Amino acid sequence: MHDANLGTLLRTCDAVGACLAVPPFRWVDEALARGNTLRHPTCVHRVGSPLRWLADERRAGAAVLGVELADEAVRLADLPAARRRTVMVLGHEATGIPPEALDLLDGAVEIPMTGTGSSLNVAVAGSLVLYKLAGLL
């Protein structure tokens, strides 16, 4: 489930001028290395407590946007480009954003799907939203 997706997402972060914040799990470095084909240093923040980090970012004035199915979610096509520092939160492909993190979101964006699948992998979902937030789509 994490395989090369995290490194692929890191490449997208680099393409749009964003950083990637990751939790302190053992598999993260391996997953980043597997999917990251960039030959220069990338912007990765390793956060000890993702929930505390999100709360701190929000208090510092960042918008916190989750990629999640929610009643009040904005469709990806209607998402405006970010006008201030924005943190995008991605959850697990099968279980979504953990409930304790949902309370820290300022809003949600939904990626419409017409096929039979119920979710996209983290690299695809994150890349779509990153390009939209960066104003490149």
Is residue 1 over pLDDT 60? no
Q: How does pLDDT run across 4-60, given as a tens digit for each residue?
A: 888 899 999 999 999 999 988 888 888 888 878 888 889 999 999 999 999 999 999
How is residue 94 written in tokens?
């099968």
Question: Which residue is listed with tokens 């916190």?
Answer: 64
Please provide residue 20's backbone torsions phi and psi, each rounded to the nearest 5 degrees.
-115, 130
| Domain that includes residue 20, residue range | 2-134
Q: Which of 122, 60, 59 is nearest to 88 (CA)?
A: 122
Identify the helix (H) or strand (E) that includes residue 100: helix 99-102
Number of domains in the chain: 1
Say which CATH number the domain at 86 has.
3.40.1280.10
CA–CA separation, 40 vs 109, rounded Å? 31
